[in-house]
Structure 1
Amino acid sequence: MADVIIYHNSDCGTSRNTLAMIRNAGIEPHVVEYLKTPPSRVMLLQLIERAGISPRQLLREKGTPYDTLGLGDESLTDAALVDAMMTHPILINRPLVVSPLGVRLCRPSEVVLNILPEPQRGAFAKEDGEQVVDAAGNCILPA
């Protein structure tokens, strides 16, 4: 069985949908509730690098102190943005998924289908009813 890790926030619908798609592939991932146990700075930097994104691309604005901290200032360095995420883990966008096929920020949630080592085992619809995978396990939406 492949080792898959999801940096998860159970209050986030996108994160819940992503976790459900991982499980729909027959994989029980390691679930890291990153607000309770945030990644170390080294791990966060590794995740960012492996996902092929910048710290700014990982920043979450909605429901966070993003505006209060002035994080929209384009002159802030990557190090400053990572410092903010370390101090306020809610600023780390979610869900981040690690699999043998790569690391992705799974927004939208169906992005996870690109890195799962196992196919979907059947139909899947998001919490809002949007069909993502058909009964044969084929992705309906572009992932």
Structure 2
Amino acid sequence: MNRRINGAILLAASAAAVAFAPVTAGAATPFNAPEVTFAGTGTGTVTATLHNTNDRGQCWAEAGVGPENNHVFFGGSRPESLANPGQTIKTSLEGLEPGTTITARGGCVNGAEFELSETVTVTVPAAKPATGSFGG
């Protein structure tokens, strides 16, 4: 009987050691803000080139527009305006007031993970005079 108790105690001690052993998990891949650049690409149009460097989540570009800094998303929040993991996209804001400025940034989200890029100021291109030659 003594043997049986010792075996049970040994089994319980082994189980406890396994339960309390330190767990070493692989380091999680960091979650980052997107790589994003903004450029005036036409009269009243600003285009964002957005790269999601993450292995998860989706990224977007957003801006503050007008005197009240109204919040808008590039590409009208359409699915094609979101960069999936490893993807680079171009998406635009059109119909902006030529010659004004907007504040713009990118962001990425994956559940509770959320990262924003730095905010930059972008000048909206104004109308350019037509070029060409006049008859003669």
Higher strand share: 2
Higher helix share: 1
Q: Tell which structure's C-alpha radius of gyration is larger.
A: 2
TM-score w.r.t. length of structure 1: 0.23
TM-score w.r.t. length of structure 2: 0.23
